[in-house]
Structures are given as C-alpha cells and as structure tokens.
Structure 1
Amino acid sequence: MGRFWTSVTYLHSLAGPAVMLVYPLYASVMAMESTSKVDDEQWLAYWILYSFLTLLEMLLQPLLQWIPIWYDIKLVFVAWLVLPQFRGAAFIYDRFVREKLRRVGVATKPRSASAAATASSPSKGKDKNKFVDFISPKKGGQEAY
C-alpha cells in the first residue's frame, strides 16, 4: 500500500506542471499556428490569468500555507481555465478583466467569437494605441512615441 500512495503522490505532483504549463504551452503554440482568432483569445487570457494567479499566490504565500488543500483548489481552478470544453480563461477575462479595463477606458467594446472575426477593423489600432499609452511610462511629461 505504501508504493501505491507514493505513486499517487508522485502523479499528483506532476499533474500541476502538466495542467498549468505543458498543455497550455502546447495549445498556445497550436493557437498561434491556426488561422482562428478565438483560440488566440483563450490562450492569451489564460496566460494573463495564470500570471495574475502566480503573483497573487506569491504575495499571499504566508496565508496560503495554512490552507492544506490550496494546491488541489488551484489545480482544479486552472484545469477549468485550461480545458477547451469550458473555455474558463476566456470567460473570466470577458466577464471580469474586460469590465475593469473598460472602466479605465482601455477596452471599448465586448469581444466574442463574432467580434474576433472583425478584429481587422481600423478601430482595433486605436484601441491598441490607447492600451499602449495607458501602460507605457511618460518621459519628461511628454508622450512616448
């Protein structure tokens, strides 16, 4: 019975990197090589959320170490973000992140599968410039070009 639990523990420790990094890396490369923009949005949203989750986890580490099932909760949440049946990353980004960006004036219109097809419109460049202006530092009080 000891070997069984050792094997289960070992597989459990491999599940995190496989679900959180290996599969998303593979799927991101496949999304970049496809012609569809919908999968690009899913994987960009995933990497944004995963980065935020990792940063939050680093900041809250003293508190999270007292939650014995934190790793399992994180694994289930990230699996929901990753699995194509759920498209959790795109859902979270559309529902919460995009709303916050819209409030500060970065995102101007909701994106969906149909909006992704019209992503080559001229207004897309203006939205991108707004975001770049929002996140880029100003030099000497002047706008950076």
Structure 2
Amino acid sequence: MGHFWTFLTYVHSLAGPTVMLLYPLYASVRAIESPSKLDDEQWLAYWILYSFLTLMEMVAAPILQWIPIWYQAKVLFIAWLVLPQFRGASFIYEKFVREQLRKYCGEVGKDHPHKNKFTDFLQPKKGEHEAY
C-alpha cells in the first residue's frame, strides 16, 4: 500500500504542471499553426485567465495557505478552463472579462473619439512593427 501512496503523490505533483502549463503550451502552439481563429481565442483567453489567477494567488497567498484544498480546487478549475469539451476559458472571457473591458475601457480595438489611455499604451501604433 505504501508504494501506491508514493505513486499517487508523484501523480499529484505532476498533474498541476501538466494541466496548467504543459498541455496549454502544446495546444497554444497548435492553435497558432492552425487556420482556425476559434482555438486562438480559447488559448489567448486561457493565458489571460491563468495570468490573472496567478497574480491573485500571489496577493492572497497568506489567506490561501489556510485553505487545505486550494491546490486541488485550482487544478480542477484550470482543467475546466483547458479541456476542449468545456472551453471554459472562452466562456469566462466572453461572459465576464469582455463585459468588464467594455464597461471600463469601451470597445477594445474600435476607434472612438475618446480613446482609453490604457489600451493606447498596449496597442502599437500603425507602422510601428512593420518588420513582423
């Protein structure tokens, strides 16, 4: 029985990095190489949400260390975001993130008379990166 628990410990320690990083990296490269834009949206949304979750964890680390199942809950949530059957990252982005962007930044990517300084900073000017 001791070997079984040792095996489960190894599987547990590999599950997080595999679900959160290895598979998304692989799928992101495949998405870039595919002609479809649907998978690009899924993986861009995933990396946005994963970055936000990581930043939130850094801030809330003293509180999260007291929640015994935080890591397991995080892995399950990330699996929901990642698995193609659910397309959770696209769902969360469409329902929540995009709404907040519209609310606070206006239509991202559209020309408005009152442009947002934050999006102006993030978007390169026309002709700035012509070498790409």
Normalising by structure 1, what TM-score? 0.76
Cα gap change, 1:48 to 1:9, in 2 (>3 Å):
same
Deviation at 1:125, TM superposition (A): 6.4
- In the alignment, which residue of structure 1 is the partner of 2:119? 134
Change (3 A) 1:135 1:79: farther
Q: Which runs of 5+ in 2 are unaligned?
A: 123-127
Q: Note the aligned Cα RMSD (angstroms).
A: 2.2
Aligned residue identity for 1:47: W
The aligned residue for residue 24 of structure 1 is 24
1:134 CA displacement: 2.6
Native 8 Å contact 1:98 1:107 kept in 2: no
2:38 corresponds to: 38
State the SS of the aligned residue for 2:105.
coil
Instruction: Tell me the residue number matched to 1:79.
Output: 79
Distance 1:3 1:132 in 2: 58
Percentage of matched positions with identical amino acids: 65
CA distance 1:38–1:60, shift in 2 (3 Å): same
CA distance in 1, matches of 2:35, 2:62: 44
Q: Which residue of structure 2 lines up, in the alignment, with residue 49 of structure 1?
A: 49
Q: Deviations over 1:77-135 (max 9, x none)?
A: 00000000000000000000000001123436xxxxxxxxxxxxxxx5648xx577535
> CA separation in 2, counterparts of 1:100 and 1:75?
25
Question: Scaled by the length of structure 2, what TM-score is found?
Answer: 0.84
Q: Structure 1, residues 34-87: CA drift from partner, whole Å, max 9, x if none?
A: 011010000000000000000001111101001111000000000000000000
Partner of 1:120: none
The number of aligned residues is 121
**Where does residue 113 of structure 1 map in the other structure?**
none
- Contact map agreement 1:24 1:82 (CA 8 A) in 2: yes
